[in-house]
Amino acid sequence: MIYTLRHLTTYRYARPVHFARCGLRLRLTDDEGQTVLASTLTISPEPRHRTERRDHFGLDVTSIIIDTPHTELRVEALSRVRVERPSMPAPETGPAWERIRDEALRSRSLAPDAPIHYLFPSPRVSLVPDVTDYARSSFPSGRSALGGAYDLMQRIRRDFRFDAKATSVRTPLEEAFALRAGVCQDFAHIMIAGLRGLGIPSAYVSGYLRTIPPAGQPRLRGADASHAWVSVWCGDGWIGLDPTNGIAMCDDHIVVARGRDYTDVSPIDGIVSSSGAQKLKVEVDVIPDGEPMPEATVTVEAERV
Amino acid sequence: MTDAAEAEVSGRAERLARWTSGYRPHPDVPDAFMDASGRPREAWTRVLDRLGDLTEVDIAARFVSAVRHIRDTGISYRIYGDNREHAWPLGSLPFVVEADDWQALSAGIVERAELMEAILADIYGPNRLVADGLLPAAVVAGSPEFMRPVAGIVPPGGRFLKLYAADVTRGPDGQWQVLADRTQSPSGPGYALENRMVLTRAFPDLYTDLHVERLAPFFQTLRQALADGAQRSDPRICLLTSGPFSSTYVEQAVLARYLGLLLVEGDDLVMQDGALHVRTVSGLKRADALWRRIDSDYVDPLELNPASRLGVPGLLEALRNGNLVVGNMPGSGILESGALAAYLPGIARRLTGGELRLSGPRTFWCGDPDSLVHVRDHLDALTLRPVATPPKGEARDAIMGPLAFGADRDRLVAALRDRPFDYVAQERMPLATTPGWDRTGGTLRLVPRPFALRVFATITPDGWRVMPGGFCRISERPDLDPGEMRAGIKAADVWIMSNGPVEPVPLIQPGAQKVRRIAGHLPSRAADNLFWFGRYVERAEAVIRLAGAHLGGVGAAVNAYLVSDARSPTSLRIRALLDDWGAISNPNLSTATLAREALSGHGTYGSALRHSLSARANAAILRERLSGEAWRVLADLTDLLDIGDGRAYSEAELVGLVERGLGLMAALAGLAKENMIRTTGWHFVDLGRRIERVINTCTFATHFAGDAATADDLGVMLSLCDSHIAFGARYMQGAALDPVRDMVLLDPFNPRSVAFQIEAIGRHLANLPTLRADGLPEPHQRLAAKLAAEFSTGEAADFDEAAIARLGHDFERLADAIATRYFPNAPNALRPEKLVGLG
């Protein structure tokens, strides 16, 4: 499947911003089963300074400095990407989780995708005994790591309520866990905390999910949104699991970035010099090849999935 | 021998016997004074031999004067999580090490520092140690001090470490042992310096006679190390502090002053054009080198901890560009990880081909299956603790004490089940002892006390150099861990006894420093603090004068301007103004209670005491810029005003308080005038004082020289402006409105008049740096010039009550305009704000 992706972020400021220094993680990178065909990043106002570097997790970071006074900052990422993933191995196959844990611990690599980076607490994923105990019941002794992780994913899908009002982008995972509610970010963090609590390396993946418009209706512009799921280390590679939808990563998932948690992959991070309030708007379109660009516009104010 | 001399000698012998006869080291614990066979060591014998010349009273007296110096210079420390400052608890006994013994320790420290540098270069570089299995990847990746964005950066100047420290003790065999390596940002060298300064004050001749090694050359080397690798030849070196609430802020201020570094907070720095700059009153100035005294994670909110308010966004970018030297490099703290100690011997064998000269207690990382078995089998003999201790938001300087896990075995076993690799276990080691004074039972004697010694090394082009001294903490109780400064722990100067005489060395080699008269550009934040220091001092004075006028005490010598009749209109006006200023809680109090509140109230935010405390708080931030004398006068002022809630004070006593308070104010003004170098900083202090004075004088004039002012009012006005004597000399008859207004507002010869202040303000502003290249005045300069013209051309009759009130507002606007122009936190200044991204 080939997709055209559009990710438009707009910040509006009550008073002019004179200086902004940002790091952008919006460029897609090649991944297993995913090839980036084209990718552009358009920023307005034009940055005075723009550099590209690859961060420790192998992500492309665009660092920009804007020093023209502005009341609106627009960042538009446009990409074309081909996604053809191998299907996931059957859940109850592969090595036992205890073996995965011990081998990960003995590994001798600090490379960006080395499992060892994803074994420890990270800024947004603290290890919570209650969450570890919740995960434990999916991992009886000797069960395959993949089987246990798949089961944990399905339990989260069952036990947790999707509710964008229940949490915010800053809610700690303990709170979302206690509420048994939240959005994709919360579910991913909770699942990661449970897996790591047992010693199984797991990563946070940010990206997009293709949505199917209701039958007979056209695709609305900006109706899609960014998404997050989990990547679990299964001994000889990473397997994507989406606890929000209770499914394995498939050709509908498009990967933007993989990191220890949300902080490592947050799409726009930065500092602006301003004395007023700011308003944020995000529009995302995921358009499969052959479908026309949508015409009508939906404005989604700070929505999260 | 004369009788007196003989008595002295026998007194001396008796004293020494009394001090040492009962000294018994603990069994199996090495002691600095007595060796295993109970024989005194040579170095301590020499020290006691000299100390014995002094009577106990002598020692105490000398030491008391040194301790007073500590209070006067404001050396203090904070306990983490505690807002109070504690006076520095220095003990009168040194920690003594013999030259040969020290040599052995130094060689081991140098070896260890080299090893640490090599490991850092590998961890943030090619990762060979991990690939070769000498260092588990999990030990690196699992450390919260592993700064991933630093990986791949080659430190400008080629060094990760500029200053290395180790906490050492003596093992059961008497050999030196390393308890902990300090690579993040070792604290303590400033304390070592202060301890030395104080003790040399108390016992000046002892140092020379006993051949104690000097510290000054080490600090000169340290300064060079910090600058090494900078691009410019005369680099600007900044000490990056987390601010006055850091537990070691005073130490940082001492070091900045001693080494001539700019003490800065994150807000003082800004990245521009790929390089780091300091915000100064003269604009942005390049910062070439940074001594980092905040934790790595906090240095750059853009690439590291986004919640940090202490760092500089983009700082890592400057490091990548090679435009900045930082000591120690962000990420250096990873070597403090407890788990690393388990792998040091193996790494040393690989890198140096031999065994480490200095070993430490045996350490086991529980992520290793064999180690885990050992730990489970020997739990009772080990101290277990998490590898990643929670960060405290401040350079970690405590030696971590044993966690009391032993009591809760179940919890321990559970912790080791899911994630054993999060724990590290260490053999327990009793702390060695050194002599300390004990006074139990009324007689002074020496007893063995546990100590922790921190030694420092800095890098030179020829290798590492160890400070011949250190920072020692001695516990007053056998059960107290001297790893952290707190009640019951005393600091000690560390004496390395050279085998021969020690050459006196000046800090600066002749010819090594260029002559210059300007100390450098004043950081905007320091200017802000200096300005407010001046304003608070003046504000305190105004309240003291007003309280004095209320008591009828000030000016009483000249004439009977007594207004202590609580119902007189003048008295009511004074009460109303004190109430306006928030100096009193209620205008209807009795005269004495009201004056007491205005002077000494803790609960009234406008009292003289509260203003002087504010001045002191500002001064605390400026410690590296303020003389010891000024600090002492400020301390005296707050001590004087802080009379507490105890007994009642009579009006006469309160008048005495006012007079002494004004005396100290004069002393402070005199110090500023006579002792402070006329740099930009001085201009800001004086500017603050004078602006505050004009604003207060205008307020006084609207109250006591208003259109309907009575003779009593005018008398108060003159006394508030300290002008009654001059007035009496000029006008033989009583006070009339226009002459009084002329004297307090317009007379350019009266140093208390508004006209006099505004002339001074104009001179200060002319001396401050301008940001305009076209020579045109900036807004605050235009406002000051306009006000000056009004005063130099006006006549007393022009200045009615309404005009004076308007001028008062104009002066407040002038103060705001100065703030906007020069200070970083002015109301209109742009503040950095976080962008909030969405998932």
Confidence of residue B85 (pLDDT cuts 50, 70, 90): low
**Stated pTM of the model:** 0.84
B221 close to B376: Cβ distance less than 8 angstroms: no
User: Is residue A12 a contact partner of residue A281, using CB atoms and an 8 Å limit?
Assistant: yes
pLDDT at B176: 94
Is residue B391 less than 8 Å (CB to CB) from chain A? no
Cα–Cα–Cα angle for B233, B239, B242, rounded to 5 degrees: 155
At residue B513, the pLDDT reads 52
**Greater model confidence, A271 or B312:** B312
Apex A192 CA angle, A186 and A198, nearest 5: 140
Mutate to test the interface with A, among B145, B833, B834 (most CBs of A within 10 A): B833
Q: What is the pLDDT of residue B444?
A: 85
The mean of the pLDDT values for chain B is 84
Q: What is the pLDDT of residues B569-606, one digit of tens each?
A: 888 899 999 999 999 998 888 888 999 999 999 888 89
| Residue A62, pLDDT score | 93
Assess whether pLDDT exceeds 50 at residue B728. Answer: yes
* A90: closest CA of chain B, how far (Å): 26
Of residues A12 and B379, more confidence is placed in A12
Q: What angle do CA B748, B753, B759 make, to 5 degrees?
A: 55
Q: Is the peptide bond before A45 cis (omega within 30 degrees of 0)?
A: yes
Among B127-131, B616-620, B825-829, the minimum mean pLDDT is found in B825-829
Please tell me the predicted confidence (pLDDT) of residue B836: 47
Cβ pair A108:B305 closer than 8 A: no
Give the span between the Cα atoms of A107 and B90, in whole angstroms.
Answer: 50
Chain B residues touching residue A184 (CB < 8 angstroms): 839
Q: Which among A55, A267, A272 has the least Cβ separation from residue B149?
A: A55
Which chain B residue's Cα is nearest to A107? B137
Written as one letter, the residue type at B833 is: E
Q: Given pLDDT bands bounded at 50, 70 and 90, which one contains residue B441?
A: confident
Say if strands B289-292 and B325-327 run parallel, antiparallel, or are unpaired.
parallel
Q: What number is the average pLDDT over the span B390-419?
A: 50
CB distance B609 to B601 below 8 Å: yes
Specify the DSSP element, H or E, that contains B276: strand B275-280
CA distance A206 to chain B (A): 8
Q: Which of A68-77, B136-145, B470-479 bottoms out in mean pLDDT, i.e. has the lowest?
A: B470-479
pLDDT number for residue B505: 62
Please name the helix (run of DSSP H) or strand (run of DSSP E) that holds residue B662, with its range, or none: helix B651-675
Who contacts A124 (Cβ-Cβ below 8 Å, separation ≥6)? A172, A173, A189, A261, A262, A263
Answer whether A81's CB lies under 8 Å from A36's CB: yes
**Predicted pLDDT of residue A221:** 65
**B742 with B727: CB under 8 angstroms?**
no
Between chains, do A116 and B839 touch, taking CB under 8 Å as contact? Answer: no
- Report whether pLDDT(A181) > 60: yes
Query: What average pLDDT score do residues A199-208 get?
Result: 95
CB contact residues (below 8 A), chain A span 42-71, against chain B: 55-57, 63
- Cβ neighbors of B514 (< 8 A, separation 6 or more) are B234
**Residue of A11, A59, A75, A120 to mutate when probing chain B, most B C-beta within 10 A:** A120
User: A–B: how many Cβ contacts below 8 A?
Assistant: 122
Closest C-alpha among B669, B684, B10 to residue B281 = B684
Q: How far apart are CA B701 and CA B754, in angstroms?
A: 11
- Measured from the Cβ of residue A154, the count of other Cβ atoms closer than 10 Å reads 16
Contact (Cβ atoms closer than 8 angstroms) between residue B237 and residue B226 = yes
DSSP for B789-822? HHHHH--GGG--HHHHHHHHHHHHHHHHHHHHHH
Average pLDDT over residues B605-631: 82
Q: Which residue has the tokens 């992520």?
A: B367
User: How far is the C-alpha of B302 from the C-alpha of B316, rounded, in Å?
Assistant: 9
Q: How many residues does chain A have?
A: 305
How does pLDDT run across B642-657, given as a tens digit for each residue?
987 778 888 888 989 9
A132 vs chain B: nearest CA distance in angstroms?
9
CA–CA separation, B363 and B367 (whole Å): 12
Confidence of residue B87 (pLDDT cuts 50, 70, 90): low
Question: For residue A281, what are the β-bridge partners?
Answer: A10
Residue B82 has pLDDT above 70, yes or no: no
Q: How confident is the model at residue B97 (pLDDT cuts 50, 70, 90)?
A: very high
CATH of A2-84+266-288, picked from 2.60.40.2250, 3.40.50.720, 1.20.1250.20, 3.40.50.1860, is: 2.60.40.2250
| Mean pLDDT score, A70-86 | 93
B residues 362-381 closer than 8 Å to A (CB)? 367, 369
User: Is the pLDDT at B510 greater than 50, yes or no?
Assistant: no
B147 vs A14, higher pLDDT = B147
Which residues, including other chains, have CB under 8 Å from residue A81's CB and lie 6 or more apart? A2, A3, A5, A28, A34, A35, A36, A37, A254
Tell me how far CA of residue A215 lies from CA of A296, B245, B499, in angstroms.
17, 62, 94
The whole-number pLDDT of residue A137 equals 96
- Per-residue pLDDT at B839: 30
Is the pLDDT confidence value at B563 over 60? no
Q: Are B361 and B428 in contact (CB under 8 A)?
A: yes
pLDDT at B827: 38
Is B151 in the A-facing interface, judged by CB distances under 8 Å? yes
Out of B75-79, B319-323, B354-358, B561-565, pick the least confident: B561-565
Is pLDDT at A10 greater than 80 in this prediction?
yes
Q: At what angle do helices B680-704 and B651-675 cross, to 10 degrees?
A: 140
Stretch A97-126: mean pLDDT, rounded?
Answer: 93
Q: Which of residues 123-142 of B touch A (CB under 8 A)?
A: 127, 130-133, 136-138, 140-142
Tokens 């520092």 locate to B113
**Nearest CB partner across the interface for A226, out of B133, B830, B839:** B839
- Residue B715: pLDDT over 80: yes
Tell me phi and psi for residue B202, to 5 degrees.
Answer: -75, -40
Closest Cβ–Cβ partner in A105, A275, A280 for B838 = A280
Q: If pLDDT is split at 50, 70 and 90, which confidence band does B627 have?
A: confident
Bridge partners (DSSP) listed for residue B458: B163, B465
Task: Determine the Cα–Cα distance for residues B365 and B340; give it in Å rounded to an integer.
Answer: 8
Predicted local distance difference test score (pLDDT) of residue A304: 41
pLDDT of B69 above 80: no
Asked whether the predicted pLDDT for residue B556 surpasses 80, the reply is no
Cα Dmax for chain A: 61
Residue A78 parent element (H or E): strand A70-83
Nearest to B768 by CA among B257, B262, B280: B280
Q: To 5 degrees, how large is the angle CA B630–CA B635–CA B638?
A: 125
Instruction: Say whether pLDDT at B447 is over 70.
Output: yes
Instruction: Tell me whether residue B757 is exposed, middle or buried, using C-beta atoms within 10 angstroms of its C-beta: 0 to 12, 13 to 18, 19 or more.
Output: buried
- For residue range B753-765, list pLDDT tens digits in order: 999 999 999 999 9
CATH code that applies to domain A97-264: 3.10.620.30
Instruction: Give domain limits for chain A.
Output: 2-84+266-288, 97-264
Backbone angles phi, psi at B47, to 5 degrees: -65, -45
* Of B115-119, B184-188, B482-486, minimum mean pLDDT range: B482-486
Average pLDDT over residues B224-232: 92
Say what percent of chain B tops pLDDT 70: 86
For residue B626, is pLDDT > 80?
Answer: no
How far is residue B256's CA from residue B749's CA, in Å, rounded to a whole number? 41
Find the helix or strand (DSSP H, E) in which A17 lies. Answer: strand A2-17
Residue B442 pLDDT: 78
Yes or no, beta carbons of B839 and A185 under 8 Å apart: yes
Mean pLDDT, rounded, for B96-113? 95
Tell me what pLDDT residue B701 has: 95
Max CA pair span of chain B: 101
pLDDT tens, B152-171?
999 998 999 999 999 999 98
Confidence (pLDDT) at B831: 42
**Rounded CA separation A206/A227 (Å):** 6
Mean pLDDT of chain A: 89
Q: Which pLDDT does position B404 carry in this prediction?
A: 39
What mean pLDDT is predicted for residues B706-729?
Answer: 88
The one-letter amino acid code at A189 reads H
Q: What is the band of B485 on the pLDDT scale with cuts at 50, 70, 90? A: low
Of A11, A127, A273, the CB nearest to B832: A273
Residue whose structure tokens are 């809610």: A171
SS3 of residue B163 by DSSP: strand
Cβ atoms of residues B290 and B236 within 8 Å: no
> So what's the pLDDT on residue B482?
65
Q: Which are the contacts of B634, defined by CB distance < 8 A and separation ≥ 6?
A: B612, B615, B616, B619, B668
Residue among B663, B660, B654 at smallest CA distance from B597? B654
Kindly report the nearest CA distance between residue A214 and chain B, in angstroms.
Answer: 24
Q: Coil, strand or helix: which one is A41?
A: strand
**What pLDDT score was predicted for residue B554?**
42
